[in-house]
Amino acid sequence: MIPNLTVASGDLEVMIPNLTVASEDLEVTIPNLTVASGDLEVTIPNLTVATGDLEVRIPNLTVATGDLEVTIPNLTVASGDLEVTMPNLTVASGDQEVTIPNLNLASGDLEVTIPNLTFATGDLEVTIPNLTVASGDLKVTISNLTFASGDREVMIPNLTFASGDLELKIPYLTFASGDLELKIPYLTFASGDLEL
Protein backbone atom coordinates (compact mmCIF):
# COMPACT_ATOMS: atom_id res chain seq x y z
CA MET A 1 0.00 0.00 0.00
CA ILE A 2 1.18 3.49 -0.90
CA PRO A 3 -1.44 5.77 0.72
CA ASN A 4 -1.96 9.53 0.31
CA LEU A 5 0.77 10.04 -2.27
CA THR A 6 1.12 13.50 -3.82
CA VAL A 7 3.39 14.32 -6.78
CA ALA A 8 3.73 18.04 -7.37
CA SER A 9 5.98 17.80 -10.41
CA GLY A 10 7.75 14.84 -11.93
CA ASP A 11 7.19 11.24 -12.89
CA LEU A 12 6.16 8.37 -10.63
CA GLU A 13 6.91 4.75 -11.48
CA VAL A 14 5.74 1.81 -9.39
CA MET A 15 7.21 -1.52 -10.52
CA ILE A 16 6.89 -5.06 -9.10
CA PRO A 17 8.87 -7.25 -11.54
CA ASN A 18 9.14 -11.04 -11.62
CA LEU A 19 6.63 -11.67 -8.85
CA THR A 20 5.53 -15.25 -8.13
CA VAL A 21 2.63 -16.03 -5.79
CA ALA A 22 2.51 -19.73 -4.91
CA SER A 23 -0.53 -19.72 -2.66
CA GLU A 24 -1.90 -16.53 -1.18
CA ASP A 25 -3.68 -13.34 -2.23
CA LEU A 26 -1.88 -10.30 -3.60
CA GLU A 27 -3.24 -6.80 -3.22
CA VAL A 28 -1.54 -3.73 -4.68
CA THR A 29 -3.20 -0.49 -3.53
CA ILE A 30 -2.27 3.15 -4.22
CA PRO A 31 -5.14 5.11 -2.63
CA ASN A 32 -5.69 8.87 -2.72
CA LEU A 33 -2.98 9.59 -5.29
CA THR A 34 -2.71 13.14 -6.61
CA VAL A 35 -0.45 14.10 -9.52
CA ALA A 36 -0.22 17.84 -10.14
CA SER A 37 2.16 17.57 -13.09
CA GLY A 38 3.92 14.50 -14.40
CA ASP A 39 3.38 10.94 -15.50
CA LEU A 40 2.34 7.90 -13.47
CA GLU A 41 3.41 4.41 -14.51
CA VAL A 42 2.41 1.27 -12.64
CA THR A 43 4.07 -1.91 -13.96
CA ILE A 44 3.82 -5.51 -12.72
CA PRO A 45 5.73 -7.52 -15.33
CA ASN A 46 6.14 -11.29 -15.43
CA LEU A 47 3.65 -12.00 -12.65
CA THR A 48 2.79 -15.64 -11.96
CA VAL A 49 -0.03 -16.70 -9.63
CA ALA A 50 -0.20 -20.43 -8.90
CA THR A 51 -3.29 -20.18 -6.73
CA GLY A 52 -4.86 -17.13 -5.16
CA ASP A 53 -6.40 -13.78 -6.02
CA LEU A 54 -4.71 -10.69 -7.42
CA GLU A 55 -6.18 -7.25 -6.84
CA VAL A 56 -4.69 -4.01 -8.18
CA ARG A 57 -6.47 -0.90 -6.92
CA ILE A 58 -5.77 2.78 -7.57
CA PRO A 59 -8.76 4.51 -5.94
CA ASN A 60 -9.41 8.25 -5.82
CA LEU A 61 -6.72 9.09 -8.38
CA THR A 62 -6.52 12.69 -9.55
CA VAL A 63 -4.27 13.75 -12.44
CA ALA A 64 -4.13 17.48 -13.11
CA THR A 65 -1.84 17.18 -16.11
CA GLY A 66 0.14 14.19 -17.30
CA ASP A 67 -0.22 10.62 -18.51
CA LEU A 68 -1.26 7.52 -16.60
CA GLU A 69 -0.08 4.08 -17.68
CA VAL A 70 -0.96 0.85 -15.89
CA THR A 71 0.74 -2.23 -17.37
CA ILE A 72 0.60 -5.87 -16.24
CA PRO A 73 2.46 -7.76 -19.00
CA ASN A 74 3.02 -11.50 -19.21
CA LEU A 75 0.59 -12.37 -16.43
CA THR A 76 -0.11 -16.05 -15.78
CA VAL A 77 -2.89 -17.12 -13.42
CA ALA A 78 -3.09 -20.88 -12.85
CA SER A 79 -6.02 -20.69 -10.44
CA GLY A 80 -7.51 -17.55 -8.97
CA ASP A 81 -9.15 -14.25 -9.81
CA LEU A 82 -7.64 -11.02 -11.14
CA GLU A 83 -9.25 -7.68 -10.38
CA VAL A 84 -7.94 -4.33 -11.61
CA THR A 85 -9.88 -1.39 -10.14
CA MET A 86 -9.40 2.36 -10.62
CA PRO A 87 -12.46 3.97 -9.02
CA ASN A 88 -13.13 7.70 -8.90
CA LEU A 89 -10.48 8.60 -11.48
CA THR A 90 -10.35 12.28 -12.44
CA VAL A 91 -8.17 13.53 -15.30
CA ALA A 92 -7.98 17.22 -16.05
CA SER A 93 -5.56 16.89 -18.95
CA GLY A 94 -3.59 13.92 -20.22
CA ASP A 95 -3.84 10.43 -21.68
CA GLN A 96 -4.63 7.26 -19.74
CA GLU A 97 -3.56 3.81 -20.84
CA VAL A 98 -4.39 0.54 -19.11
CA THR A 99 -2.65 -2.46 -20.70
CA ILE A 100 -2.69 -6.14 -19.68
CA PRO A 101 -0.85 -7.89 -22.54
CA ASN A 102 -0.22 -11.61 -22.91
CA LEU A 103 -2.60 -12.64 -20.14
CA ASN A 104 -2.95 -16.38 -19.66
CA LEU A 105 -5.87 -17.31 -17.41
CA ALA A 106 -5.97 -21.06 -16.79
CA SER A 107 -8.84 -21.01 -14.33
CA GLY A 108 -10.43 -18.00 -12.71
CA ASP A 109 -12.14 -14.69 -13.41
CA LEU A 110 -10.70 -11.43 -14.74
CA GLU A 111 -12.41 -8.17 -13.86
CA VAL A 112 -11.23 -4.75 -15.02
CA THR A 113 -13.27 -1.92 -13.48
CA ILE A 114 -12.92 1.84 -13.98
CA PRO A 115 -16.01 3.34 -12.32
CA ASN A 116 -16.83 7.03 -12.00
CA LEU A 117 -14.28 8.20 -14.56
CA THR A 118 -14.23 11.91 -15.39
CA PHE A 119 -12.18 13.33 -18.26
CA ALA A 120 -11.82 17.01 -19.09
CA THR A 121 -9.52 16.45 -22.05
CA GLY A 122 -7.37 13.54 -23.18
CA ASP A 123 -7.59 10.02 -24.51
CA LEU A 124 -8.41 6.78 -22.70
CA GLU A 125 -7.15 3.45 -24.00
CA VAL A 126 -7.89 0.12 -22.36
CA THR A 127 -6.07 -2.75 -24.08
CA ILE A 128 -5.99 -6.46 -23.23
CA PRO A 129 -4.11 -8.02 -26.17
CA ASN A 130 -3.41 -11.71 -26.66
CA LEU A 131 -5.77 -12.84 -23.92
CA THR A 132 -6.26 -16.57 -23.45
CA VAL A 133 -8.94 -17.90 -21.10
CA ALA A 134 -9.00 -21.65 -20.55
CA SER A 135 -11.88 -21.56 -18.09
CA GLY A 136 -13.40 -18.51 -16.43
CA ASP A 137 -15.17 -15.21 -17.01
CA LEU A 138 -13.90 -11.88 -18.33
CA LYS A 139 -15.64 -8.68 -17.34
CA VAL A 140 -14.55 -5.18 -18.40
CA THR A 141 -16.63 -2.36 -16.91
CA ILE A 142 -16.20 1.39 -17.39
CA SER A 143 -19.19 2.85 -15.57
CA ASN A 144 -20.33 6.46 -15.23
CA LEU A 145 -17.87 7.70 -17.86
CA THR A 146 -17.94 11.42 -18.54
CA PHE A 147 -15.67 13.19 -20.97
CA ALA A 148 -15.84 16.65 -22.47
CA SER A 149 -13.39 16.11 -25.30
CA GLY A 150 -11.22 13.25 -26.49
CA ASP A 151 -11.33 9.71 -27.82
CA ARG A 152 -12.00 6.48 -25.95
CA GLU A 153 -10.81 3.11 -27.14
CA VAL A 154 -11.39 -0.28 -25.52
CA MET A 155 -9.58 -3.07 -27.36
CA ILE A 156 -9.30 -6.80 -26.69
CA PRO A 157 -7.50 -8.19 -29.75
CA ASN A 158 -6.62 -11.82 -30.33
CA LEU A 159 -9.01 -13.10 -27.69
CA THR A 160 -9.30 -16.87 -27.32
CA PHE A 161 -11.97 -18.42 -25.11
CA ALA A 162 -12.07 -22.13 -24.35
CA SER A 163 -14.93 -21.91 -21.88
CA GLY A 164 -16.42 -18.91 -20.12
CA ASP A 165 -18.33 -15.66 -20.50
CA LEU A 166 -17.22 -12.28 -21.83
CA GLU A 167 -18.95 -9.13 -20.69
CA LEU A 168 -18.14 -5.58 -21.76
CA LYS A 169 -20.07 -2.77 -20.12
CA ILE A 170 -19.93 1.01 -20.46
CA PRO A 171 -23.09 2.12 -18.63
CA TYR A 172 -24.11 5.73 -18.08
CA LEU A 173 -21.82 7.16 -20.75
CA THR A 174 -21.82 10.91 -21.30
CA PHE A 175 -19.61 12.77 -23.72
CA ALA A 176 -19.78 16.22 -25.27
CA SER A 177 -17.23 15.69 -28.02
CA GLY A 178 -15.10 12.74 -29.09
CA ASP A 179 -15.27 9.17 -30.31
CA LEU A 180 -15.88 5.89 -28.51
CA GLU A 181 -14.53 2.73 -30.09
CA LEU A 182 -14.97 -0.86 -28.93
CA LYS A 183 -12.82 -3.45 -30.67
CA ILE A 184 -12.61 -7.23 -30.31
CA PRO A 185 -10.72 -8.30 -33.43
CA TYR A 186 -9.82 -11.93 -34.06
CA LEU A 187 -12.19 -13.33 -31.45
CA THR A 188 -12.33 -17.11 -31.01
CA PHE A 189 -15.04 -18.75 -28.88
CA ALA A 190 -15.12 -22.49 -28.14
CA SER A 191 -17.88 -22.33 -25.54
CA GLY A 192 -19.44 -19.46 -23.64
CA ASP A 193 -21.48 -16.28 -23.90
CA LEU A 194 -20.63 -12.85 -25.30
CA GLU A 195 -22.42 -9.79 -23.98
CA LEU A 196 -21.74 -6.25 -25.21
Instruction: Evaluate whether residue 8 is within a structural domain.
Output: no
**Structural domain for 135, as ranges:** 13-195
Q: Does residue 5 sit within a domain?
A: no
State the Cα torsion 164-54-28-36 to the nearest 10°. Answer: -10
Q: Do the domain assignments include residue 117?
A: yes
Which residues, other chains included, contact 85 with Cβ-Cβ below 8 Å and sequence gap of 6+?
55, 56, 57, 58, 59, 111, 113, 114, 115
Domain-embedded: residue 76: yes
Question: Is the per-residue pLDDT at 145 higher than 70?
Answer: yes
Residue 72, in any domain of the structure? yes
- pLDDT value at residue 4: 66
What pLDDT digit, counting tens, does each position of 78-111 carry? 777 777 777 777 777 877 777 777 877 778 777 7
Residue 115's pLDDT is: 74
pLDDT of the residue at 10: 65
Residue range 24-69, pLDDT digits in tens: 777 777 777 777 777 777 777 787 877 877 777 777 777 778 777 7
pLDDT at 196: 64
**Which phi and psi angles does 28 have, rounded to 5°?**
-115, 115
Does residue 70 sit within a domain?
yes
2 lies in some domain: no
In a domain, 4, yes or no: no
Domains contained in the chain, number: 1
Q: Using an 8 Å Cβ cutoff, are 166 and 194 in contact? A: yes
Judged against a pLDDT cut of 70, whether residue 1 lies above it is answered with: no
